[in-house]
Structure 1
Amino acid sequence: MPAGLRIRLLGGLAMALLLLLAACGGNDGAWGNPPPEQPPEAEFKVSIPAFERDGPIPERYTCVGENISPEITWTDVPVVTGSFALAMYDPDAPQGVFDHWVLFNLPPHLEGIPEGVPSDDELIGGGVHGRNSYGDPGYLGLCPSGQDPHRYRFTVFALDQMLLDSSADKQALFNALTGHILGNDRYEGTYPP
């Protein structure tokens, strides 16, 4: 077959193929369209009913009040959650970050923790207290020095499994979190107001 004829034949076939593809490329949803967008998963959220996010923390949760832990709840938990962990700390302490409360291995069926959690190493219903900055298990009420407000951060993590043992502090918890966080939220308050 002569070269000129071969070029015309290939050009004609290419044109026919393009026309065929254009005819089949209608936007009727039969194929080729991206799937409809799925609604995004709800975002894991933490709430502390006793005070608003970024608001003043009531005195009852301090060393001059009842020195009890606040109720903390969470919603929109990732489906495959295996446990929860919590770290509560003061980033404004004069000597550096001060850890007031560390909890982990909280069972995945929990929707929060009640007010006034006892300071026992192991919690009734599951969960383990880590060590605060004094090396003790349990909640240590807010007790800032001076008159300036301090920020207190309550961070809850939804994790894919249980972690650690009761001798762990916040740093050990944070080191163990790598690769296991499914969701987290930080709720902050201030004291004194």
Structure 2
Amino acid sequence: MEILDIKIPDNAIKVNIYSSSFRDLEKIPKDYTCEGKNISFPIVIEEIPNNTKSMLLFVEDPDAPGGIFRHWIAYINKPIKSIPPGIKKERIVKIDDVQIIQGKNDFGKIGYDGPCPPKGHGKHRYYTIILFLNKELYIDGWFFEDFIRYVKEENIVGYGYFIGIYER
């Protein structure tokens, strides 16, 4: 199975993840876009697979004119049941004893930058994807390839995703 360009093993557990600010396949509220406050939205994770040691988070737009456009890339060093809104746009952010290491999005900035499709381009889908990993990673770079480099299919024990919609 694949979610956008990420290959998921057949034995990975599907986890229900969602935002408390909008439902799957519904419009993303303006505050979480380039036309609003441009802050990250809250994410709720219902059940974490038992052998999860760390997590990878991506927010991606597959409808961008140039192909998949990444709005957020983050490595979370321990399992966490929720991610609050408004995560600071810094390389390393702490939530209690959990460390979030953020990479550069396709705007070339650290952290989350919200939906901002070209005006008149129609509705875009924004996938929020979390991979649950059975190992900790050493993240040494800034880009998607650096975050996914050490992940093999056998490291993905679970996955979850939901889709928000936005157009300008």
TM over 0.5: yes
1:143 to 103, 116, 140: 116
Name whichever structure is richer in strand by fraction: 2
**Relative to structure 2, which stretch is displaced further, 169-178 or 73-82?**
169-178
Q: Distance in 2 between matches of 1:165 and 1:135?
A: 17
SS at match of 1:123: strand
Contact 1:68/1:141 (<8 A) preserved: yes
- Unpaired runs of at least 5, structure 1: 1-41
What is the distance in 2 between the residues matched to 1:57 and 1:106?
A: 27
Show CA shifts across 1:157-180 (max 9, x none): 111122232523223333332121
User: Corresponding residue for 2:21?
Assistant: 50
SS of corresponding position for 2:148: helix
Aligned to 1:167: 141
Q: Distance in 2 between matches of 1:158 and 1:86?
A: 9
Counterpart for residue 159 of structure 2: 184
Question: Match of 2:165, as an amino acid?
Answer: T
Q: CA RMSD in A?
A: 1.7
Q: TM-score, normalised by structure 1?
A: 0.73
The residue that corresponds to 1:73 in the other structure is: 44
After TM superposition, what 4+ stretches of structure 1 lie above 4 angstroms from structure 2? none
SS in 1 for 2:146: helix
Deviations 1:33-65 (A, max 9, x none): xxxxxxxxx842111111111111111101110
Kindly report which structure 2 residues correspond to 1:4-23, keeping only aligned pairs within 5 A, or say none. none
Q: Which of 87, 96, 102 pairs up with 1:129? A: 102
Equivalent of 2:83, from 88, 97, 113?
113
How many residues get paired? 151
CA contact (8 A) 1:155 1:187 kept: yes
1-structure distance, mates of 2:54, 2:94: 15
Structure 1 or 2: larger helix share?
1
Structure 2 unaligned segments of length 5 or more: list them.
Answer: 1-12
Tell me by how many angstroms 1:120 deviates.
0.9
CA shift at 1:186, angstroms?
A: 1.3
* Larger Rg over CA atoms: 1
Partner of residue 156 from structure 1, selected from 89, 111, 130: 130
Instruction: Give the 5 Å matches for 1:77-88.
Output: 77-88=48-59
